[in-house]
Structure 1
């Protein structure tokens, strides 16, 4: 009887030990599987491919062209396609149904056109700021040194149209300086206003500091204190109807990265 009881107890103990070891092995296996699953999810989610169409303010042309190449290098299989122009015209195109993945505007007011139409995928993020400068022909032949000089007799000045961010900023700066002038031309984006100076068709133009820096070989720039009253914030947003939603999110994130910020600040943009 004693021997049988001992045998039964030993069998039960062996079974319990085996079950315990099996449970431990099962737990370890489940933990590893969970870890592998979570680690593989980000890599599949981070995969970006295809064309990313970006509508961006004309003043971003130089820097965004550079950033587009860097983005493509970081995401093999992607192509970044840009449409540069006046922010107000781009915003209208987006709300009218133009296919685009990302919108980068030169002012919150133009971005509001898109957000009010519920065409932004989320809240826009301000990624840089920009200030105005007086662009003059090389050597500054008219000896312009202040905003008030633009109102001088016979002075020919080009401005952006008031609905364009650079035009709105120019009007703010002129008002702050108490300067009243009649431009000889109103352009639809800042690059067009700058071209008037390059070609010698005007004596000066109010453009962004970044544009003056980018074109330093052809023109000169004159700082003026009233520019501090007309600083433009630049917001960016992925679009709600983006054909390439993954690419849109990745590009917006990249523009806000440390690498992108170095490119933007080197071009003269300011941190927000």
Structure 2
């Protein structure tokens, strides 16, 4: 090969390399940008899997949701569920005040309906009924709603703005039974506690709560035609920073696994 031809080929190769360099550099930059763009997605996914959820829930769900929460965490590694239990009216106030939380479960649809601006669509995940919780051994032999009108019996009820208090008023009014409670409590657990401690002789509570008291109280069933059905709707909270994870938890509450936990605790199908 002549020296002249060799020099020409070397020059052509150098020119080609010079022309390709910017394109290769641009591709590398695009790849870096692509990698940078992918990182937030991967990070978000990891964050969703490791979400710390705060769920506001009605007091009557205290025991069963502790079991449900443990089951959910087991089947969703990296997710932690923390519950805050209170009367539904208290929970509603917290949501309206912007308390940091991801999901809400109330003991009535009326309370949830009043929070449509703050929550996503609600789904009823369980139902419940009322019973009379009589003191240990049922010394007053209470066996029907009408017995609660006896002035000798100290009856405690939930306040009327509380779902269980509203249900109690509803069934007593329907039977034209006048009861003068010795106190009106902020949630169903407070009503039950008064009876358990002997500070009241009887109270109206949810069937599931009374069942958890063992022999501390006697549960007196109320006939269906004199009773009220409590519905428990669940919804995400719009201001949640864990929207996807919160929606996943709310959806899980309607799955066979969650429904079995609820029904084993005495809740009825939605």
Same fold (TM over 0.5): yes
Q: Which residue number in structure 2 is paired with residue 88 of structure 1?
A: 89
Name the counterpart of 2:67: 66
Q: Which residue of 2 aligns with 1:218?
A: 216
| Per-residue Cα deviation, 1:12-48 (whole angstroms, up to 9, x for no partner) | xxxxxxxxxxxxxxxxxxxxxxxxxxxxx9xx69952
Contact 1:51/1:78 (8 A) holds in 2: yes
In structure 2, the CA distance between the partners of 1:221 and 1:229, relative to structure 1 (3 Å rule), is: closer
> How many Å separate the matches in 2 of 1:227 and 1:240?
38
Alignment of 1:112-261 (within 5 A): 112-115=113-116, 118-121=117-120, 123-225=121-223, 228-261=226-259
Q: Is the 8 A contact 1:103 1:238 kept in 2?
A: yes
Deviation of 1:154 (Å): 1.6
> Structure 1's 186 and 52: CA in aligned 2 closer, same or farther, altered over 3 A?
same
Contact 1:92-1:113 within 8 A present in 2 as well: no
| CA distance in 2 between partners of 1:54 and 1:227 (Å) | 34
Inter-partner Cα distance in structure 2 for 1:70 and 1:86 = 24
Residue pair 2:130, 2:227 contacting (<8 A) in 1 also: no
Whether the aligned pair in 2 keeps the contact of 1:48 and 1:247 (CA below 8 Å) is yes
Counterpart CA distance in 1 for 2:227 and 2:98 is 35
Structure 1 pair 230–108 and aligned structure 2 pair: CA distance change class (3 A): same
- Separation in structure 2 between the aligned mates of residue 80 and residue 109 of structure 1, nearest angstrom: 25
**Which sections of structure 2, spanning at least 5 residues, go unmatched?**
1-41
Q: CA deviation at 1:246?
A: 2.0
Q: Which runs of 4+ in 1 moved over 2 A?
A: 44-48, 226-229
Distance in 1 (CA, whole Å) between partners of 2:195 and 2:260 is: 29
Contact kept in structure 1, 2:128 and 2:206, CA below 8 Å: yes
Q: Normalising by structure 1, what TM-score?
A: 0.80
| Corresponding residue SS for 2:65 | helix
State whether residues 176 and 229 of structure 1, in contact with CA within 8 Å, keep that contact through their aligned partners in structure 2. no
8 Å CA contact 1:136–1:222 kept in 2: the answer is yes
**Cα displacement string for residues 170-221 of structure 1 (whole angstroms, at most 9, x for unaligned residues):** 0011012210011000000000000000000000000000101111232110
How far off its partner does 1:229 sit? Answer: 4.0
Q: Please give the root-mean-square deviation of Cα atoms over the aligned residues, in Å.
A: 1.7
In structure 1, list runs of 5 or more residues that go unmatched: 1-40
TM-score after normalising by structure 2:
0.81
Cα drift, residue 50 of structure 1: 2.2
Q: Tell me, what secondary structure is at the counterpart of 2:83? A: strand
